[in-house]
Amino acid sequence: MYHSIDFFQFQKKFSTENKCLKYLMKQRCHNGFVCPKCGNNEYYFIKSRHNYQCKQCSYQLSVTSRTIFHKTRTPFRK
């Protein structure tokens, strides 16, 4: 019984997070992704890992990572 409840909650949670993730992705696209490493704004999205990968330098950025907000604000000339 506990098992089925846990599973249900997990599913519920997962679908919510999935929506959240999709929202995050959309936002990221609208705001424009900029690679913190080389400043390039063209990238691939790696579905399986929920990561962005820079087309130019292959730098990978996690969508779920909170540091993404911090990193994208880092000046490129650094």
> Following DSSP, what letter does each residue of 23-41 receive, concatenated?
HHHHHHHHH----TTT---
Give the containing element (helix H, strand E) for 52: strand 51-54
Decide if residue 37 touches Zn ion (CB under 5 A).
yes
Q: Which is nearer to Zn ion, 37 or 50 (CB)?
A: 37
- Residue 56 binds to Zn ion (criterion: CB under 5 A): yes
Torsions phi, psi for 25 (to 5 deg):
-60, -45
Contact stretch for Zn ion (CB under 5 A) within 1-9, 14-22, 57-65, 69-77:
57-65
Tell whether residue 60 is a contact of Zn ion (CB under 5 A): no
Binding site residues, Zn ion, CB under 5 A: 35, 37-38, 40, 54, 56-57, 59
